[in-house]
Amino acid sequence: MASTRRGLPEINAGSMADIAFLLLIFFLVTTTMDVDTGIARKLPPMPEEELQEDDSQIHAKNIYVVLINANNQLLVEGELMDISQLRDGAKDFINNNGRDPNSSENPEKAIISLQNDRGTEYMTYIRVQNELAAAYNELRNKASLNKFGERYADLNKTQKKEIRKMYPQKISEAEPKNIGGNE
């Protein structure tokens, strides 16, 4: 120890901090956790054994039936439909306000019923969910632009609540059927 001190001059440790900082920043930048994104949904609670829900009170015209079969084809309100048309179809249905007597009375009563087969591909299912969510989001956006002059995402909590009340997102999922046979 003594010999080194006498021999060479002490190494300047001042720049060590810079090196460490560099490393620190490197780690801070590279360990960005990839943000998880997804479509949030709420499952209905398990029904009580005896208490079966009485769906008969809901008028059939207020229900928008979307069926997906094992071949990933869509049957919407009894008609074959391409997935790209679903968004507009759902929007028309929700925003009908009694114009078409066979469609929903108003957005608050409109319910979208979704049923898939056990053989449906997950991708198709998500796409349908996405289109339905998009239909609601577009309607909400339009309503909030009309009412508050801002996009739905920029509204404050009470304003959002109001818009949500105008367009409640009611997507009901029936238990899947196994028509397609194979799993």
Partner 1 sequence: MSKFRKDGKKGMPAISTASLPDIVFMLLFFFMVTTVMRETTLFVSVVTPKATEIKKMEKKSLVSYIYIGSPIKRMQASYGSAARIQLNDAFAEVGEIQEFIATEREARDEKEIPYMTTSIKADETVKMGIISDVKQELRKANALKINYSTRKGDY
Chain residues in the site for partner 1 (CB under 8 A) = 13-14, 16-17, 19-21, 23-24, 27-28, 31, 33, 35-46, 116-123, 125-127, 129-130, 133-134, 137, 175-176, 178, 183
User: Residue 130 Cβ, how far from partner 1 at the closest point, in Å?
Assistant: 4
* 84 versus 102: smaller Cβ distance to partner 1: 84
* 46 versus 60: smaller Cβ distance to partner 1: 46
* 33 versus 60: smaller Cβ distance to partner 1: 33
User: Residue 42 Cβ, how far from partner 1 at the closest point, in Å?
Assistant: 6
User: Residue 90 Cβ, how far from partner 1 at the closest point, in Å?
Assistant: 12
CA distance 21 to 18: 5
* 27 versus 102: smaller Cβ distance to partner 1: 27
SS3 call for 62: helix
Give 77-120 as a 3 state SS string.
CCEEECHHHHHHHHHHHHCCCCCCCCCCCCCCCCEEEEEEECCC
User: Residue 60 Cβ, how far from partner 1 at the closest point, in Å?
Assistant: 25
Going by C-beta distance under 8 Å and a sequence separation of 6 or more, which residues neighbour residue 62? 104, 105, 109, 110, 111
User: Residue 23 Cβ, how far from partner 1 at the closest point, in Å?
Assistant: 6
CA distance 60 to 79: 16
* 68 versus 76: smaller Cβ distance to partner 1: 68
To the nearest 10 degrees (0 to 180), the angle between helices 157-166 and 122-148 is 110
User: Residue 180 Cβ, how far from partner 1 at the closest point, in Å?
Assistant: 9
Q: How far apart, in Å, do the first and last CA atoms of the chain sit?
A: 75
Q: What is the DSSP letter of 152?
A: G
- Name the residue among 117, 128, 133 with its Cα closest to residue 177: 117
* 68 versus 110: smaller Cβ distance to partner 1: 68
